[in-house]
A and B are shown apart, each in its own frame.
Chain A
């Protein structure tokens, strides 16, 4: 391929892009009304937040009006309508309870196992002679087990659990086809257990993110397809005019992921350097086109819901969606800066990495403007804390990723622990935090039971926050020093190893705190599933003084 072809194809690409843009304007891709932003609220619900994880005292705090908060006083007739709609919502929640419970339980199990595997790997990097007698515990395998469990166990199970729960609320209809999802979930988990077993036994396809043997992956592909069916069926039964932005994100992600996985896993097709570009096309897209949209969909739903206020700019959220869809897909090549791949590809990926600033900033501005004036609610809402913090980490990790893609930064950061810290900022600081928040919101609805020990939510929060701060800050510094040492030819290579040791140790400290936090979380989850704690007094769906009487009627729902 010569320069003329490249120029020609980029020309054709721009023209196509222009046409799509014109078409999208004609087809109202960007609504000039923000009606869709109100889809997730019933009439009169604005100004009344929903926070299932809060205690009575916290709810009291949530009820405090912030300046500018709309507090419509409803007539008796409106109150009745609202109460009826809320009852329908309880009905919709009930249709998803079992499905979500199954997915989220799997997620919690994988989270704990994955954390233990990660912690073991972390210790082994500064204690290289620990646990060396068994082959499956060697760093190269246990680290890979950690990645696969987190990437294919915790993350998708949590995502699907939340997505299945959200769909009926977003489309205002009960979930259709939930048993396909359950069956798919069983196949997927069977595949994952087999895949992790294969890695432990030393059977691996050999590519990062794609280690599980393709024969085993057939189970995951079929399982994943079944898990996506409720989306299709429930969409067909929808009772809302507008698709809320969360549906855009989740819908696209649920179609993107199977395609990514299928193409990446085609046996005997990819070769040599092409395989490397494919590898990172996949590796980055599974983050960008699956986990990220799933978490963003959750933020776009839960955040407005908790504070009782629609998202500030609905158009900005759609702009974020389309730019993410367009730019994120092409950034993978920045994992190969300086590698033996065609130079045009690296340049393309760097350019698109810079362009990622657009969707990230549009999300960040939107989140900030929506939260503006409402930040005091963070004090009272345990769920909101995780979500808002997660959203901020998204901004941070994505901007960091943009700069890391630059050739000059990549020269230092590539091949070092800096990248590992960055990956955890995205998948942990952003994705996992958002999922924690979402699970705290969802589970009381799923179980019709309050979180038995609310103080454990705070313990969990502070353990993982402090743990992750130690993890991230330490490892980033260590990774950067490692990269600088490696670029200094006058220093022997071992200097670049020695310089990281204190930071690898601090990572173990941070990782231990995170793991401890996960154990607290898992214990709390189990306690709830077993219905420990004080008996539930009321299923208050919304929290505001005005509706206290109306929602009390829903007690026991």
Chain B
């Protein structure tokens, strides 16, 4: 049983090292990080919207982590300053993302505050950005003959309404847009914040 012992103990030691480096140490280093003063907790509508973001997999094309000026011109694209750990204080699960098939959304609320734009863009991205390869999300909307009281009618550029119908937003997409509008991390943070680049 000697070989088995070597194998198992060796395998566990190496995994323990990796786990302490990539999970335990960051846990200890970051657990006392506080939210920056300018960052507000999510409202319940925003949290619901965040769920819509997660369930439709927005993260697979959109990151939420602009890179530093020194590395990439992300700030010149209006994506904002490089984030610090505290910016993600309220994020559970994290939605940092690893793809930029579409632009970074860390500051999409500051860059594009209009609810009209977001709703229309989610209904048909190509009505606003020619050449966009973002999917359209017709299942988050309803095409109707006329709106019921209290329903949000989506204003679309000419030619994008289904023939003879109007488009109204579901609660899901309204929540999603509320979340996107709230994505604003333009407040200042101090470089001394724990967890920032050392």
Residues on A lying within 8 angstroms of B by beta carbon are 1-3, 13, 20, 24, 27, 29, 124-126, 128-129, 132-135, 138-141, 143-144, 202-208, 235, 242-243, 247-248, 251-252, 255-256, 259-260, 263, 270-281, 285, 289, 322, 325-326, 328-330, 332-333, 335-336, 338-345, 348-349, 407, 411, 414-417, 419-420, 486-489, 493-494, 496-498, 501, 504
In the complex, A415→B15 CA distance in Å?
Answer: 28
Q: Which of B4, B12, B56, B83 contacts A135 (CB 8 A)?
A: B56
- Could you say which residues of chain B place their CB within 8 Å of the CB of A341? 26, 85
**Contact assessment for B60 and A273 in the assembled complex, using a CB-CB cutoff below 8 Å:** no
Q: CA–CA, A205 to B51, complex, Å?
A: 10
What are 10 A-B interface contacts by the 8 Å CB criterion?
A273-B26, A274-B26, A278-B23, A329-B14, A330-B21, A330-B22, A493-B77, A493-B103, A494-B132, A497-B102
* 17 further contact pairs, Cβ within 8 A, besides A204-B54, A415-B99: A1-B25, A20-B10, A29-B10, A125-B133, A128-B136, A202-B55, A205-B93, A206-B93, A263-B23, A271-B30, A271-B31, A271-B91, A271-B92, A273-B195, A274-B30, A289-B15, A417-B101
* Contact (Cβ within 8 A) A281 B19: yes
**Interface residues as binary, B153-180 with A (CB distance below 8 Å gives 1, 0 otherwise):** 0000000000000000000000000000
Are A342 and B76 touching (Cβ within 8 A)?
no
Complex A-B, nearest 9 residue pairs according to Cβ-Cβ distance, in ascending order: A140-B57, A329-B18, A202-B55, A489-B73, A281-B22, A415-B100, A272-B88, A252-B11, A206-B93
Inside 8 A of B89's CB, which chain A residues have their CB? 272
B63 on the A face (CB < 8 A): yes
Segment with Cβ contacts to A, from B41-49, B64-72, B112-120, B144-152: B64-72
Q: How many A-B residue pairs have CB under 8 A?
A: 246
**Is the CB–CB distance between A139 and B18 below 8 Å?**
no
Q: A2–B15 Cα gap in the complex (Å)?
A: 24
Contacting pair B18 A330 (CB below 8 A) = yes
Cross-chain contact B137 with A132 (CB below 8 angstroms): yes
> Once the chains bind, are B131 and A497 in contact (CB under 8 Å)?
yes
Quick one: which of B13, B17, B21, B82 contacts A340, CB cutoff 8 A? B82
- Whether A343 contacts B133 by the Cβ 8 Å rule is no
Contact A204-B8, Cβ < 8 Å, known A138-B137, A272-B94, A340-B85? no
B contact residues, range: 35 or more
Residue among A129, A132, A272, A345 facing the most chain B CB atoms (10 A cut-off): A272
- Asked if B77 and A278 make an inter-chain contact with CB atoms under 8 angstroms apart, the answer reads no
Which of B10, B77, B85 is in CB contact (< 8 Å) with A489? Answer: B77
Q: Which of A1, A132, A281, A486 contacts B139 (CB 8 A)?
A: A132
CA distance in complex: A322, B134 (Å): 44
B37 contacts chain A at the CB level, 8 A cutoff:
no
Which B-chain residue is minimally distant from A344 (CB atoms)?
A: B198
Q: Across the two chains, which residue of chain B brings its CB closest to A235?
A: B4
Task: Name the CB-closest residue of A to B136.
Answer: A132
CB distance from B4 to the nearest CB of A (A): 6
Most buried by A among B89, B93, B130: B93
Smallest CB separation, A92 vs chain B (Å): 20
Q: For the complex, is B87 an interface residue (Cβ under 8 Å from A)?
A: yes
Closest Cβ of chain A to B1, distance in Å, is 8
CA distance A501 to B138 in the complex (A): 23
Q: Report yes or no: B11 in contact with A256, Cβ–Cβ below 8 A.
A: yes
B21 to A272, Cβ gap below 8 A?
no
Complex Cα–Cα for A251 and B8 (A): 8
Contacts of A420 in B (CB 8 A): 99
The one of A248, A285, A342 in contact with B7, judged by C-beta atoms closer than 8 angstroms, is: A248
Which chain B positions have C-beta within 8 A of A134?
139
Q: CA separation between A260 and B16, bound complex, in Å? A: 10
Chain B residues near A340 (CB, 8 Å)? 65, 82-85, 87-88, 96, 195
Decide: A273 and B22 in contact? CB cutoff 8 A.
no
Tell me the bound Cα distance from A82 to B87 in angstroms: 68
CA distance A325 to B13 in the complex (A): 9
Query: Given the interface contacts A135-B56, A275-B94, does A338 sit within 8 Å of B26 by beta carbon?
Result: no
B10 touches A143 (CB 8 A): no
Does A144 contact B57, Cβ atoms closer than 8 Å? Answer: yes
Whether A29 and B6, one on each chain, are in contact in the complex, defined by CB atoms closer than 8 angstroms, is yes
Task: Give the CA-CA distance A331 to B8 in the complex, in Å.
Answer: 21
A1:B28 contact, CB within 8 angstroms: yes
Q: Report the bound CA distance from A342 to B13 in whole Å.
A: 24
Whether, in the assembled complex, B191 has its beta carbon less than 8 Å from a beta carbon of chain A, the answer is no
Contacts of A24 in B (CB 8 A): 6, 10
A248 CA / B99 CA spacing, docked (Å): 35
Beta-carbon contact of B11 and A139 below 8 Å: no
* B132–chain A nearest beta-carbon distance, Å: 7
**A348→B21 CA distance, assembly (Å):** 9
B57/A338 in contact, CB under 8 A: no
Q: Are B26 and A335 in contact (CB under 8 A)?
A: no
A535 to B58, CA, bound (A): 53
Which residues in A have their C-beta under 8 angstroms from that of B94?
A: 207, 272-273, 275-276, 279
CA distance A498 to B59 in the complex (A): 20
Most-contacted residue by chain A among B15, B95, B103 (CB, 10 A): B15
| Cα distance A329–B135 in the bound complex, in angstroms | 36
Whether the pair A272, B85 counts as a contact (CB closer than 8 A) is: yes
Q: A358 → chain B, closest Cβ, in Å?
A: 14
Could you tell me if A326 and B85 are in contact, using CB atoms closer than 8 angstroms?
Answer: no
On whether the beta carbons of B15 and A124 are closer than 8 Å, the reply is no
Q: For residue B14, give the distance in angstroms from its CB to the closest CB of chain A.
A: 4
Judge whether B77 and A338 touch: CB under 8 Å: no
Let me know if B29 is at the binding interface, CB within 8 A: yes
Q: Is the CB of B72 within 8 A of A141?
A: no
- Name A203's contact: one of B15, B55, B136 (CB within 8 Å): B55
The answer to whether the Cβ of B33 comes within 8 Å of any Cβ in the partner chain is yes
With A132-B137, A330-B17, A415-B98: A278-B30 Cβ-Cβ less than 8 Å: no
Asked if A342 and B195 make an inter-chain contact with CB atoms under 8 angstroms apart, the answer reads yes
Distance (whole angstroms) from the CB of A8 to the closest CB of chain B: 13
